[in-house]
């Protein structure tokens, strides 16, 4: 083997060792990485705005503060608007629980008994009476029990600590994003620089297409589902529409979950299959609009993952990083897919294949 070939093999070995060490480190530090990863994603999405502001002679520090203030205002507005609405919907659901229990006893259970040849009649009257008399005190009972749950209390404290870390990390990332990128570019060996730069540009294109486009898809689809369900008269149009819209980042999951919840809510409200059909039409139209118009327009082609790989990525990242891992599964998988394509191309061009 020539000296040049031996040197090239050493380069590959060092990069393999570096990638392995990075993966192990990420796995070991996964419990504390959530606020940093979340801040990095938000900074990546918002950095073009700060950079454009800098082009108009607005310092990046001021631009970062303005972006954070805008994000905080949007978040506060959503909380102030959504919390009362959800509380109202939850109260309406609890108030109607006795009616739903009657439907369960008089319609659902007899239907199941007739087809399964089983006796499923529970003490519905006692259950309905308990719900009617004690639903108002449920919040007080929960408030008394919660402080005694040490693990739950620690989880809440950890959640708020992470929540407070996000804006701090976000500010520094927004202010110094371009400088950080230059520093990373400076430590890449010149031998690898052109290849790494090409890989980084393609990764940036994929992430930009996915993240920024998918946020727009979520916003539009949430409004479509909420409006459609409200027009057909569904009482719980707001929460169900939001859930369906927020889950569209996973192919078909938003439609499946939203349709299931909406069907159950419509059956409880209308008690007539003829009135449930418009709810199904809303989701059928929403799926068509999202798949044929909105996603191709705002996101472009899908990231190229097979549905089985999508499910595996969601489960794997959820196991490693929890709920935030589920949110990061698809964009990270898209990046890994770009890298794997480059590795495959290099392999096909190498002596190992030919």
Q: What is the 3 state secondary structure string of 170-211?
A: HHHHHHHHHHHHHHHHHHCCHHHHHHHHHHHHHHHHHHHHHH
Q: Is residue 269 part of a domain?
A: no
Residue for token digits 């990638």?
19
| Cβ 171 vs Cβ 65: under 8 Å | yes
- Distance separating alpha carbons of residues 327 and 347, to the nearest angstrom: 31
- Helix extents (H) in the chain: 3-28, 30-55, 60-95, 97-103, 109-116, 124-134, 138-145, 150-187, 190-207, 213-231, 237-246, 253-270, 273-289, 295-298, 307-349
The arithmetic mean of pLDDT across residues 330-350, rounded, is: 74
The arithmetic mean of pLDDT across residues 248-259, rounded, is: 80
- pLDDT value at 321 more than 80: no
pTM for the whole structure: 0.65
Percentage with pLDDT > 70 across the chain: 74
Report the domain count for the chain: 1
**By residue range, what is the domain housing residue 101?**
34-187
Residue 218, burial from CB neighbour count under 10 angstroms (0-12, 13-18, 19+): middle
- Distance separating alpha carbons of residues 27 and 38, to the nearest angstrom: 16
Q: Is residue 114 part of a domain?
A: yes
Binned at pLDDT 50, 70 and 90, residue 344 comes out as confident
- pLDDT value at 118 more than 80: no
Q: Is residue 129 part of a domain?
A: yes
Q: Is residue 146 part of a domain?
A: yes
- pLDDT value at 232 more than 70: yes
Q: Is residue 262 part of a domain?
A: no
Q: Is residue 29 part of a domain?
A: no
- Express each pLDDT in 61-89 by its tens digit: 999 999 999 999 988 887 787 777 777 76
Q: Is residue 307 part of a domain?
A: no
- Mean confidence (pLDDT) of the chain: 76
Q: Is residue 82 part of a domain?
A: yes
| Cβ 66 vs Cβ 53: under 8 Å | yes
- pLDDT value at 2 more than 70: no
């Amino acid at each position: 083997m020539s000296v040049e070939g031996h040197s090239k093999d050493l380069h590959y070995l060092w990069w393999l060792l570096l990638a392995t060490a990075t993966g192990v480190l990420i796995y070991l530090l996964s419990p504390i990485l959530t606020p940093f990863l979340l801040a990095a994603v938000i900074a990546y999405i918002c950095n073009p705005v700060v950079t454009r502001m800098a082009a108009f002679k607005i310092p990046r520090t001021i631009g970062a503060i303005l972006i954070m203030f805008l994000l905080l205002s949007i978040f506060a507005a959503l909380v102030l608007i959504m919390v009362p609405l959800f509380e109202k919907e939850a109260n309406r659901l609890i108030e109607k629980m006795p009616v739903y229990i009657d439907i369960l006893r008089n319609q659902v259970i007899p239907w199941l008994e007739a087809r399964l040849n089983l006796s499923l009649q529970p003490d519905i009257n006692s259950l309905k009476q308990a719900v009617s008399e004690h639903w108002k005190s449920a919040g007080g009972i929960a408030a008394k029990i919660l402080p005694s749950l040490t693990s739950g209390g620690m989880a809440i404290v950890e959640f708020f600590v992470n929540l407070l870390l996000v804006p701090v990390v976000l500010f520094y990332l927004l202010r110094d994003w371009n400088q950080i990128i230059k520093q990373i570019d400076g430590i890449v060996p010149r031998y690898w620089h052109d290849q790494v730069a090409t890989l980084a540009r393609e990764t940036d294109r994929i992430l930009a297409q996915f993240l920024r486009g998918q946020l727009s898809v979520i916003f539009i689809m949430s409004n479509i589902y909420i409006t459609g369900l409200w027009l057909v008269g569904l009482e719980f149009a707001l929460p169900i529409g939001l859930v369906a819209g927020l889950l569209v980042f996973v192919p078909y999951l938003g439609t499946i979950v939203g349709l299931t919840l909406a069907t159950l809510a419509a059956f409880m409200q209308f008690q007539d299959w003829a009135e449930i059909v418009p709810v199904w039409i809303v989701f059928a139209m929403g799926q068509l609009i999202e798949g044929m118009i909105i996603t191709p327009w705002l996101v472009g082609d899908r990231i190229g993952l097979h549905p089985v790989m999508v499910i595996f990525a969601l489960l794997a990242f959820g196991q490693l990083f929890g709920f935030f891992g589920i949110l990061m599964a698809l964009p990270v998988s898209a990046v890994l897919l770009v890298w794997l394509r480059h590795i495959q191309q290099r392999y096909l061009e190498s002596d190992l294949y030919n």
